[in-house]
Structure 1
């Protein structure tokens, strides 16, 4: 006689084998490419962020003109410039962040010995000597061949101060601020297009209500005039913190649409906001929770976009996710206010997943900024004296640069599941585009910490030439160090088989793959 428990076991086994059990997971991920859309994946989605925070600017980008140990151009590290040019960064946000709303730009111009010092009250309480200011940043952007994105001081500044800054950097004719710029050694204007009108107005930018900030924004935006840019300034309002949908609703309702070109959104991935967990040595549970937090970006983009669609159905106003990335506890022994953290394969997963989300929502998401570029949060570069290393996040963004200004290919995806302790997430995340050279690129991320996943791609046509690159490692916690700077780097990928119009891809656990089809 079969015992009851044995009967139940056989019953559930039969259901799983026949595919009728609700708990039976789809074994394969099926991705179908549709016809290319009319939507362009804006290159500015791949932007970066440099705040006066920790060692991002000082010791990261800038080592001083008199530094004889580290090769530099006007104080900016040559190795950093070369690395970021290889990444083809489209824009760089500066000087903050929270720092922006305590920054008075006139403190950072003129002869450096005469510049006043301030205390960086937000980040570590260190003394800021203002040796890296407007000229230094904008000239560095020219070195990097990238567009500057200036964040204006609304929290502690005045309307005239921001209006003067616009005139100082953009006015080509005779004017008080343009003349001051020439006195300080720059004849031609820099023609800065992107401007943030405050930062995190709901928090460090003034703890304002959405209604109050709407009025403040309208006042500042009104007095920001342009003289040289075709199409005018691109003014970005301080948008919502994560899922504050009421903030987005209020701004879209209250701000005249001829005064705003972009609406910001901030979201960081971590275990929990009040218990972020370590950057390395994290547990499987902490990893899964971080992936849940990262995948929330898709929901945030969809819901904020839906609100914007009510007031702006033609999608004239961009959703600008100008702060995103992983945020963990600082490395042991470092200043808590410097936000220095290592960068592992977990961060590669965050980067690949998030960029796929942005690509797939490119109709509305037209600009974003990873936080931050060097030595802070989810950095693409870490420096230590003369040494510089590239992080797994750097390598993902380098692999994904093929999507910049490419034509979005919509996808239908039936993803296998990543299951952990009874909770599930889609295991596979992907986006695709076709470039101006006619080549199709498909980026695929398997966030599953344990399982290899097969992805069946329905391509719609066959391709003669196929190649791929992969970023993978033996352990989730693996990362590049100053002793082993190339422990993780992209390599050639051959784990696919083509059969007519279909492509079967084998994705190792926690890996990122970019395929090129021609």
Structure 2
């Protein structure tokens, strides 16, 4: 019998900050086979496509209701000059993708193709602008090209290239990793550039842009502090007019790995100790959100500035035999639970975290989808299923989950809680997410449900026989959600038995 002293107290009638659907955002960089062979195969491909965009990829991602897609990078963004990716494809200049494989990029996939992809997905565009090697004028003209409706020079150029109506671009990134591949800048340098470049990313034709300045890596709190100091006063009463600022959000990047940057650990060949170490490293995101949030709170007590975690996920050694610059890795049940731990943290910090983007959507790092270059087959990864199971959290009001009796394991000198949970409420229903991080033992969790009557429930669970189980073209559903039947009435609500190494969601119908 499972151990039954873990309790999750949830006050269903006390909603907290809203969980923005945008924390379920995605990231597509010109890296390896993410764009070419992932999203885009060209109109002459044998793989079914619309205007060169893979229809199976679009269909799979629409099921996730992905809210936004970040493009063209990443490090690639600060080498990318948008004018190279418009006009007739046979006349577009080539460039060297020096960051990722040192391959030649032909710019076949550019602004029009990306915005076409966003419309097919029904998702918002998050454009990452070039500060590292680009100019202020270049960035200013790009947003004009994308969003202006009249006969301005850039709007006229867009029409010459076949698009009459402007697009909506809600999100624009001001540089990427300016502390590293985006220019190797000191934060004092970049803060001035961020203010300057952001000023010229203008709102055209009713398109309101949320500008996101490139933020810190990991626990670089100084970077966050200097960016916050670059704002005007943010401590006016909460009901006062929002302060005028050149940008509205700052980013944060953090990757989970069990080794060093030189040897990050294997995606599918790992020990039980490495299982726990990966989950402990994933849990460090909670610490980062708290610490960066505390710095932001000192300058912005009313939380008007958003924190955008626009790169996160696992980063393992590439699969043997693949190009090391393409960052192709398999995706196991371990990756799925790394994702669930992150998403729980984002839910708990919904008052500050306005967006997050897992890296990356197809064929790169912790991908949602893998495409087989030989057969053309599409594989949904275990991480994909966590995102699909969590769609009920999109734009729902967070609910505090008070856990008691959670077992722990000492890992890398820290205590790892072996149960993670979060919850939300929306439209007369609640969704509870539960992760059992124990590699070997099942766990019973009592849901102590208070404040509203629960009139119905159902559950789904994601697990597999082995910790490293993953999906392949030959076994596409080795890790896939099934009905969770181990839910029983309890005097305090419900008792849920979670299999070892599993992720589950419990949906509640409320009176």
Common topology (TM > 0.5) = yes
Q: Secondary structure at the match of 1:353?
A: helix
Confirm or deny that 1:260 pairs with 2:247: yes
Q: Deviations over 1:101-144 (max 9, x none)?
A: 00000000000000000110000001100000000000110000
Confirm or deny that 1:313 pairs with 2:301: yes
2:295 and 2:272 map into 1 onto residues whose CA distance is 35
**Greater Rg over alpha carbons, structure:** 1
Q: Report if the CA contact (8 A) 1:462-1:500 is conserved.
A: no
Confirm or deny that 1:453 pairs with 2:443: yes
Q: Deviations over 1:199-234 (max 9, x none)?
A: 00011101111111000101101111112345x210
Confirm or deny that 1:463 pairs with 2:454: yes
1:474 and 1:435 map into 2 onto residues whose CA distance is 34
Query: Bigger shift: 409-418 or 183-192?
Result: 409-418
Show the counterpart of 1:57.
35
Confirm or deny that 1:517 pairs with 2:508: yes
Q: Give the drift of 1:273.
A: 3.1
Confirm or deny that 1:394 pairs with 2:384: yes
Q: Report if the CA contact (8 A) 2:15-2:425 is conserved.
A: no
State TM-score, norm by structure 1. 0.93
2:84 and 2:429 map into 1 onto residues whose CA distance is 48
Q: Give the drift of 1:494.
A: 1.2
State TM-score, norm by structure 2. 0.94
Q: Give the drift of 1:423.
A: 5.3
Structure 1 counterpart of 2:406, from 416, 419, 423: 416
Confirm or deny that 1:430 pairs with 2:421: yes
Structure 1 counterpart of 2:320, from 315, 320, 332: 332
Show the counterpart of 1:14.
none
Q: Report if the CA contact (8 A) 2:158-2:164 is conserved.
A: yes
Q: Secondary structure at the match of 2:297?
A: helix
Confirm or deny that 1:83 pairs with 2:83: no
Q: Secondary structure at the match of 2:19?
A: coil
Structure 2 counterpart of 1:66, from 44, 48, 51: 44
Q: Which 5+ residue runs of structure 1 have no aligned equivalent?
A: 1-25
2:254 and 2:30 map into 1 onto residues whose CA distance is 20
Show the counterpart of 1:48.
26
Confirm or deny that 1:441 pairs with 2:419: no
Q: Give the drift of 1:314.
A: 1.2
Task: Give the root-mean-square deviation of aligned CA atoms.
Answer: 1.3
Q: Give the drift of 1:184.
A: 0.2
Q: Report if the CA contact (8 A) 1:41-1:407 is conserved.
A: yes
2:338 and 2:31 map into 1 onto residues whose CA distance is 22
Q: Give the drift of 1:482.
A: 1.1
Q: Secondary structure at the match of 1:101?
A: helix
Query: Bigger shift: 252-261 or 152-161?
Result: 252-261
Equivalent positions of 1:303-382 (< 5 A) are: 303-382=291-370
Q: Report if the CA contact (8 A) 2:16-2:400 is conserved.
A: no
Q: Which 5+ residue runs of structure 2 have no aligned equivalent?
A: 233-243
Q: Give the drift of 1:38.
A: 4.4
Show the counterpart of 2:210.
234
Q: Give the drift of 1:272.
A: 2.6
Q: Report if the CA contact (8 A) 1:31-1:411 is conserved.
A: yes
Q: Give the drift of 1:174.
A: 1.4
Confirm or deny that 1:191 pairs with 2:179: no
Q: Secondary structure at the match of 2:245?
A: helix
Show the counterpart of 1:11.
none
Confirm or deny that 1:490 pairs with 2:466: no
Confirm or deny that 1:474 pairs with 2:465: yes
